[in-house]
Structure 1
Amino acid sequence: MIFKNIRVKNFKGLKDISTPLSDFTCVIGENNAGKSTFIQALLLFIKGTKLTQDDFFDKDKDIFIFVEIDNIKKKDLELIDEIHRDKLEKNIDFDEKGIGSFRLVRRYSHVDYSSKLKNIKFVPKEKKFEKKEIDNLLKSKKGDELISTLKSNYAEIDDEKIDKLKTQKAAKELIEEYINTLSKDDLIEKDVPLDTGIDNSIKALFPEPIYIPAVKDLSDDMKTKDSASFGKLLNILLDVIEDDLNEAKSVFEVLRTNLNKIYDDNGKLISDKRLEKVKRIENTIQRNLNQTFKNVSIDLEVPPPEIKTILSTANIIANDGVKGPIQNKGDGFKRAITFSILRSYVELSHSEGWQKDKEQFKQKDRFLFLFEEPELYLHPKAQNILFEALSKISANHQMIVSTHSPLFFSSDATKTFIKIKKVDDGEKSYSKTLHIDLTEISNKDKFQLISFETSNHAFFSDRVVLVEGDTELIVLPHISKIIDSRYDFKNNSINLVKINGKGSFKRYKDFFKKFDLDIYFVADLDVLLDGFEKLEPSDEIKKVHSELLSIVNEKVVSIDVKPLPTRKYKDKLLKNNSKSIYEQIKDARSDDDKEKVLELLDELFSFEQKKIELVILQDKENEFNDVVLKKRELLKLLRKENIFVLESGDIESYYPEGIVSDDKPTQGQKYCEIIDSKEKLFEEYSKIDEQKIEFELIFEQIFA
């Protein structure tokens, strides 16, 4: 079974949020956005721990935690007490394959802060069909009085069926039969009480939660009691050896030597006759731990006397210069131990020699892992290793993690992303959630778009500015800070993202839109000639764009442009579409279609035409006032769509004379050295609109 959907109302900062869950759910967002509260809500749904007044967003309303449970199999119901099993099964909707689902809500009273589990069902709108009303109405009724009562209160039910009734039980079954025929228009969704006793019994159906919070002091959670997360983690591994100890139950001294190294009073090792599997568990944890803490040794201690309690009281003694239990060690060390155990579970459960014991990894034990910031204290390589381990564990146990690490971003392993943002409506801030579905993203985009850098921007930005190349990453932040010290990309949740050419604009835009980001685009002027449609312009913008190109085309014949260097011609003619045009020319020649040949030749060398058109659009000689006016009209409309087309061409067109280098990044750095003040910046560029230079208009809008 799996928790498929969750809705939380009125719990701390979660005023009302709803989102799907999956095998591996990754919760992202800034600090204090509500990630921990979201994970705690799942824990509360299972545990029902009593709350305080401070846990209520609105102290005059109840807290609701709705969960849809899916993929329930008939075999799962064997975990429920037999006396409640049949009653519970009636509340579960099973499909033709025998897979069931149902919805529950834990409702916390704002009066006494206690909770109850309830079932979410579609029930009749009319109050007379409620169970309580039916019970009161039929109470003590029998014979003719029972039939008369039914006919007068439930005229919708066939009289002939009512006349055949003998008992109250049969009457209630007849009413229930009628309720099942009602249409959706006659029903309302409502939480209804579970039958007596099921509230507690149903918990056996839930997975066992293992909660590891992102706190500074993990001591309470690291205790090795069976009720603590650390003990549960260790037991996942140790359960596999329980049957190997059956013969030793009556001889605890033998049991002690089977499980522990034997030391004398001075701490000197006397013997090590432990089971090989115990050694292997310890050695595997040791080896994985040493990838993070190289000079540390550990001992696994399992105290007697009872086998039942032995595994649940297991402890790990660490020797990092001072020998002692791990709960006395640092936070980083404790989390490293925790995740070393998880990796060991993955490694050992799939290793040769342990496969025969696979069933002993207690398949009936189902865990819900709730990890806050598992990357804490781990360097990037260790984070990658941990992410792989958690991915494998999620194949058998549902995994929900909150994280600040883009290394946990994967469209394959992580099925669901939930972004939590804080909203301030002027009265009281609250959280909202965004479900991010990347299952439909193409393999090409998985490879090209999902990277550490891009994921980092998607996780932690409020806005992204898409740019075409490296130079913009250097020059634009420099210009913005010169214009206004507040326009500092580093001190705002605004990031520049290089997309390697305007052709990728739509792909990156669609990707970042999934994360509910404001998206801006700084483009070279030639986007008006090539790739303009990828900007997804409005009809008004298309109209002005068409008018501009018409004016430009009228000027083309009057311009004498120097031919491109030979190397440039070669680059242009090696493009894939040029090869296609060349093949079409050969076909046209074989058909002796001279008109078609000339048409295709014009198309083949269309880049020359575009070069002339770009010269006119740039208008460096101030010859075409009508072009400038229409161009600025178009650029103003584009700015309203958060698209900033550089009026003068590309970013290099704004450099003063004397900047020469073999590579663009070096040119950009030289520009930053020369234009080092607001005065120099404003000397370079003329005001174009609203008596402001072009870059003022751009950055005022981005940082608004």
Structure 2
Amino acid sequence: MLKLQKVEIQNFRSCKSLEVPLSSFTPLVGYNNAGKSNIMDAIHWVLHHGALDKGDFCDPDERVMVTAYVDGLSEEVLDGLSDIRRERIEPFVGDDGHFRFRRYQPDPSGTKGNIELEAYRLSPAEGEEQEWVESPTGLNKTIQTLFPEPIEVRAMEDAAEDIGKSKDTSTIGQLIAEVLNPGAESVTDRLQNPIQALQDRLSADGDERLEALDDLDEGATEKVSEYFPGLEIKTHIPVPDAQDLFGDGTIRVIDKTSDEPRNVSSMGHGAQRSIQMALVHHLAEQSSTETEADTAKLVLIDEPELYLHPQAVESVRKSLKDLSESHYQVIFATHSPLMIGEDDIPYTNVVRKSTIEGTKVRKRVVEAVEEVIEDKASQRKTLFNLQNGSRVLFSDKVLLMEGKTEDRLIPRLYEKVTGSTLQENRIALVGFDGSGGIPKCYDILDTMGMNVRALVDLDFMFLDAIHNDLLDEEDPHIQSCRGKHVDGAPVLHASDGATHLADRGVAETEIQRLHEKMKRQGYWVWTDGAIEKHLGIDGKDESAWAEFNEQLKENDFENVVEDSDGVRALVEWLDDM
């Protein structure tokens, strides 16, 4: 299916220079003012350009340029074009169906007329080279044929204007036209007669023009002939076609208590957003997931979850997902983990902005996994482990950890020491059932550019740390610990074996040295074996965790936590990420 594979954006608003990979269902995740809407606006601009002003240029002395990479330009898609359109685009289509083009505007003072279009010659004729070709004849119209005007649902600050007014750029008009399909034969047949009747009465060449128009023409012709003999005036009132009529559509709401129709603009943002998303939902139901369409229409939505309760958010997410599985490509900006399903985490773009680099997109989970892990089976397993971590996408810092006790108690301990919650400081917790998967996930998140740390039990150092090259097998402190391990006791790389060594107190120096080495690599090791020892709790169940939390609420930190200095040091280490 024809769709955008990625875009490269240069000098557009906050986007100094970045690449954005795209899939059929592409969430953009980032904090307020990170540049998510700018990315969507750049995508719209490269397909349906308009003149940019100074505010659209990151640096007014440099040009704005957006490059689009298109995939799926198959023979079936080309066959759907007219002969002239096909002739214009074929030299730029690769054997694999790829097509690449870019637009640029040289300066802020430019008009739409000086926006340049270039296409990359992927299938050169004999004697030609692969190169960028300036202003290919007729290609702009071909691009707009392949990518019709996107459906856009904007942020809610313009909702009243967007949803309540009759104009062909409104969300409501677009959605009504898309759902009803004014080009369908069942619609055009019913409208053809009344539209033709209007044209007969209002057009300059109508067969049954209104008498008032004929009178106006006669009087105007008489007056103008005094200045320009031989001219005849014909008043022409254009009649919209079916597409224009539906594009101007809007919604009226009838309050059943009064039966009075109301403009949607008179309602609250929650109601307005609900109506927009209800139409998106209805469009999804109308669109078959088994469509034979070869092209994808673009849907761009800014924060679809706004003002909706969680169940409604899930309904919207599913509707957009359904659209992306038919003949639509969905790109949306969101602040809600509920808008991202488990299967979509690997393909989500995390958007961040800095003063120096402007808006940037982190490497996606799927690319980071492929870069870190070569084995396909291991890639699938690791992706599965990460698919419960949508909270990672909404955080700046990540703490990986093993054990349920950490998951239950670390948030309480952190808040008790710092006075802030983990969420306030943008720290996400990701738990694992055991420590074996932690190093690979650490490397993946690090490759994505995330600030990541890990929290592990003591036994981790004697097997997993060595297997993952965090410690050397021949490290003298590892060897010393093994020498002090008692024969007959559980092995050191088992939880009870490592705890047994710590309890005996014969390797305190070695364990502390290893702890420092691991800490420098982003791993905090519980030197007494596991978290329970440091907290002074015996159980690993809900009852023990609840009792500890109650004690922590009512008493000073030092009076509740057994190793208060060590646990406080852990929290400070996390806070210093």
TM-score range, shorter chain: 0.7 to 0.9
| Residue among 237, 241, 254 paired with 1:319 | 254
Q: How does 1:290-689 map to 2 (within 5 A)?
A: 307=242, 309-320=244-255, 321=257, 322-350=260-288, 366-394=296-324, 395-410=326-341, 412=343, 416-425=347-356, 430-438=358-366, 449-451=386-388, 454-456=389-391, 458-481=392-415, 483-485=417-419, 488-506=421-439, 508-509=441-442, 512-513=445-446, 515-529=448-462, 531-533=464-466, 536-540=468-472, 543-553=475-485, 556=486, 611=496, 614-619=499-504, 624=506, 627-655=507-535, 663-673=543-553, 676-677=556-557, 680=559, 685=563
In structure 2, what is the Cα distance between the partners aligned to 1:641 and 1:473? 22
Structure 1 635/236 Cα, relative in aligned 2: closer, same or farther at 3 Å? same
In structure 1, what is the Cα distance between the partners aligned to 2:497 and 2:503? 10
Q: Deviations over 1:468-500 (max 9, x none)?
A: 334334543444455555x75243111333323
Report the alpha carbon displacement of residue 60 of structure 1 after superposing the two structures with TM. Answer: 1.0
Q: How does 1:116-131 map to 2 (within 5 A)?
A: 116-121=115-120
Amino acid corresponding to residue 27 of structure 1 in structure 2: L
Aligned residue in 2 for 1:291: none
Amino acid corresponding to residue 386 of structure 1 in structure 2: V
In structure 1, what is the Cα distance between the partners aligned to 2:10 and 2:24? 23
Aligned residue in 1 for 2:135: 194
* Structure 2 stretches lacking a partner, 5+ long: 198-238, 368-375
Aligned residue in 2 for 1:44: 45
Report the alpha carbon displacement of residue 419 of structure 1 after superposing the two structures with TM. Answer: 1.1
Report the alpha carbon displacement of residue 204 of structure 1 after superposing the two structures with TM. Answer: 2.4
In structure 2, what is the Cα distance between the partners aligned to 1:40 and 1:520? 35
Q: Deviations over 1:12-37 (max 9, x none)?
A: 11110013212221111121111111
Report the alpha carbon displacement of residue 242 of structure 1 after superposing the two structures with TM. Answer: 4.6
Moved more, 369-378 or 513-522: 513-522
* SS of structure 2 residue aligned to 1:344: helix
Q: Deviations over 1:522-581 (max 9, x none)?
A: 2222334565446x243547614532333323xx26xxxxxxxxxxxxxxxxxxxxxxxx
In structure 1, what is the Cα distance between the partners aligned to 2:269 and 2:540? 53
Aligned residue in 2 for 1:694: 566
Amino acid corresponding to residue 6 of structure 2 in structure 1: N
Q: Deviations over 1:623-644 (max 9, x none)?
A: x3xx211111111101101111
Report the alpha carbon displacement of residue 392 of structure 1 after superposing the two structures with TM. Answer: 1.9
Report the alpha carbon displacement of residue 391 of structure 1 after superposing the two structures with TM. Answer: 1.6
| Contact 1:317 1:325 (8 Å CA) reproduced | yes
Structure 1 226/78 Cα, relative in aligned 2: closer, same or farther at 3 Å? farther
Moved more, 382-391 or 26-35: 382-391
Aligned residue in 1 for 2:170: 228
Identity of aligned residues (%): 23
Give the number of aligned pairs: 517
Report the alpha carbon displacement of residue 312 of structure 1 after superposing the two structures with TM. Answer: 3.4
| Residue among 162, 185, 190 paired with 1:243 | 185
Q: How does 1:79-118 map to 2 (within 5 A)?
A: 85-90=86-91, 92-95=92-95, 100-114=97-111, 115-118=114-117
Larger Rg, first or second structure (1 or 2): 1
* Structure 1 stretches lacking a partner, 5+ long: 124-172, 181-186, 256-303, 558-601, 687-692
Aligned residue in 2 for 1:203: 144
Structure 1 388/415 Cα, relative in aligned 2: closer, same or farther at 3 Å? farther
Amino acid corresponding to residue 37 of structure 1 in structure 2: N
Q: Deviations over 1:589-637 (max 9, x none)?
A: xxxxxxxxxxxxx89x769997465323233xx5x3xx21111111110
Amino acid corresponding to residue 180 of structure 2 in structure 1: L
| Contact 2:177 2:247 (8 Å CA) reproduced | yes
In structure 2, what is the Cα distance between the partners aligned to 1:310 and 1:205? 23
Aligned residue in 2 for 1:6: 7
Structure 1 618/58 Cα, relative in aligned 2: closer, same or farther at 3 Å? farther
| Contact 1:464 1:517 (8 Å CA) reproduced | yes
Aligned residue in 1 for 2:223: none
Structure 1 192/616 Cα, relative in aligned 2: closer, same or farther at 3 Å? same
Q: Deviations over 1:221-267 (max 9, x none)?
A: 334433433212111221278533566557649x9xxxxxxxxxxxx
Amino acid corresponding to residue 644 of structure 1 in structure 2: W
In structure 2, what is the Cα distance between the partners aligned to 1:84 and 1:539? 62
TM-score by length of 1: 0.64
Aligned residue in 2 for 1:562: none
